[in-house]
Amino acid sequence: MSPEKWVLNMGILLYPQGCFPDKVLLPEQTVEDLQLERLAAAMSYSNYYKITAPELNELLTRNGEVIKHRQAVMSDLINNPKLEAALDKLLGCIDGWETRSGGVRRGLDAMAVGINLEDFSFLDSYISKLDAVYNELCSLELKSEGLKRLTAKISDMRRSERFEGLKKSFEELCAGYASPQKMRLGFNLDKGLKASKLKLLYMEPYTGEETDKKLKKRRLMLNQRAIIVNNMLLQRTVSGISQAISSFVTRETMELRSIKKDLIFYLSALKLCRQWEASGLKFCFPVLMPEELKAFNTKGMFNPLLVINGREAIITNDISFSEGGEILILTGANQGGKTVFLLSAALTQWFFQLGLMVPCTEASLSTVSEILTVFAPSKDSYGKKGLLSEEAGRIAAAVKAVSGSSLVLFNEPLTSTSPSETREISLEVIAAFKAAGVRGIWVTHVYELASKRGELERLIPWGSKIGSIKIIMKNGENGDISSFTYKIDRGEPEFNSYASEVLRRKGLTLAGAGTKV
């Protein structure tokens, strides 16, 4: 199913009344840079109930009401452990009917289908499960509008004439019959998904649980005789419930199918929450700030991809952008965590605009219209074009797509030119983004970019501010000077490489070596 059709099938859990899907630009290159396919695969509720990056990206929104609506549903789900089981049961009911009616799940408009009914109880089981889900929802103190509307929808279904007619017809059909071990009903679905030409195809006898062989044999003979009668009676009777089954399949189950993807979305997100909790990490629902403030303020922010990778020690960071927009130039040693931090910020914004929890202990955020990334290309990505051509193309695409409401994230975007050329090109691009009023992070080894920010502020007094943040290397556990943890903080660049920092902390410096020589 295409992402567009997937969104059209969304129901009341994803959108409040009167709200509809809107667009947030996320180019394919950004999807690749942020590793969103890996993240979506790890989120997926199960191998059967999967969710993909394109499907998730179609749900990104700038609408504050939609974000609050989803946060409330997610909060109910996190705070009510029994709710997960109820929604899982409801998802199973919906999928069970889709599997048996064939057309919707397989994309077929009309086909002959068979329903395998173990103990002739599938319909009874479905009715019982729907009642159980309803009773469970009613027993919980739900606060979200979405789940309250879902409860009301199921309540209306249970009280509908079609549902009552189905229950009554089913009870009449089953009354007085010996319990078969298995039977198969066949019916056709026309283009309108209406059932017709119902027929009993197959039935196996019930052998009983008796330990007495004579009694068991006698019961079996009686049941075999009963089956002959049942076959005849069922062939006549089953057509009597055709209308009830048809009405139920085409109306009630179709209404429930509209929330199937909603359920997969929330249950997948809950699975991710449980993974974070198991790793000892905290998450929160951000405070929604006005878009014109261009707010991005977080505490305890981490990179969710590290959890997927099985990393045990995950470092968290705090960051705040200046009000009205700021471009932060991030410098620091190799292997210092700059890319990890950049991904943390991007994914925090992504989760926020899905209306989900974010990987932070605290956060207050404004929505963005685009999330744009320009990462250093891999060797496989540019081929015969050449590295400079690939880098220039990626930067040009970002400049073309940018707006004042964008979040831009650059990770060593120029590696194919000399340091002086990299500096000049980077300053021109940063100046253009500053004038446009965007917010973002620019990771670089060209430390002069940070020292030139004052000059850019004087030349372009409007638009975004330009700040400098850096990697601070701290000793590892128990003061171990050979291993480090890395924190992000504001400040001027430190002109040390990772290797020189290790040597310095071991007491070996260039000045010291020269003195000894």
Give residue 196's pLDDT band: very low, low, confident or very high (50, 70, 90).
low
pLDDT tens per residue across span 420-431: 888 999 999 999
Residue 312 tokens, joined: 């045990």
Q: What share of the chain is helix, strand, coil (3-state, %, to 5)?
A: 50, 15, 30
Classify each residue of 442-452 as buried b or exposed e, where b means 16 or more C-beta atoms within 10 Å of its C-beta.
bbbbbbbbbeb
User: Is the predicted pLDDT of residue 499 greater than 50, yes or no?
Assistant: no
Q: Give tens-digit pLDDT for 225-275.
A: 555 555 555 555 555 555 555 555 556 666 677 888 999 999 999 999 999
The proportion of the chain whose per-residue pLDDT surpasses 70, expressed as a percent, equals 66
Query: What is the rounded distance in angstroms from the CA atom of residue 281 to the CA atom of residue 406?
Result: 28
Tokens 């990697």 locate to 471
Q: Which of 283, 260, 256 is nearest to 270 (CA)?
A: 283
Q: Is 294 exposed, middle or buried (0-12, 13-18, 19+ CB in 10 A)?
A: buried
What is the bridge-based pairing of β-strands 296-301 and 287-288?
A: unpaired
* pTM, two decimal places: 0.79
- How many CB atoms sit inside 10 A of residue 506's CB? 10
Say how far apart CA 112 and CA 102 lie, in whole Å: 9
pLDDT of residue 417: 85
Residue whose structure tokens are 């975004």: 464
Q: What's residue 303's pLDDT? A: 95
Which range is least confidently modeled, 233-242, 314-323, 435-444, 465-474? 233-242
Q: Tell me which amino acid residue 260 is.
A: K
Helix (H), strand (E), coil (C) string for 303-362: CHHHHHCCCCCCCCEEEECCCCCEEEEEECCCCCCHHHHHHHHHHHHHHHHCCCCECCCE
With 60 as the cut, is the pLDDT of residue 171 above it? yes
Backbone angles phi, psi at 233, to 5 degrees: -70, -40
Dump pLDDT digits (tens) for 286-321. Answer: 999 999 999 999 999 999 999 998 887 888 999 999
Choice among 120-134, 204-218, 346-360, 392-406 with the minimum mean pLDDT: 204-218
Closest CA to 252 of 192, 170, 163, 137: 163
8 Å CB contact between 425 and 415: no
pLDDT digits (tens, 9 = 90+) for 67-120: 999 999 999 999 999 999 999 999 988 877 666 554 333 332 333 333 333 434
Both structure tokens of 499:
């290797």
Distance, in Å, from the CA atom of 514 to the CA atom of 421, rounded to the nearest integer, reads 33
- What pLDDT was estimated at residue 102? 43
When comparing pLDDT for 6 and 188, which is higher?
188
Instruction: Catalogue all structural domains in the chain, each as residue range(s) with its CATH number.
Output: 62-263 (no CATH), 279-512 (3.40.50.300)
**Which of 365, 359, 354 is closest to 14 using CA atoms?**
354
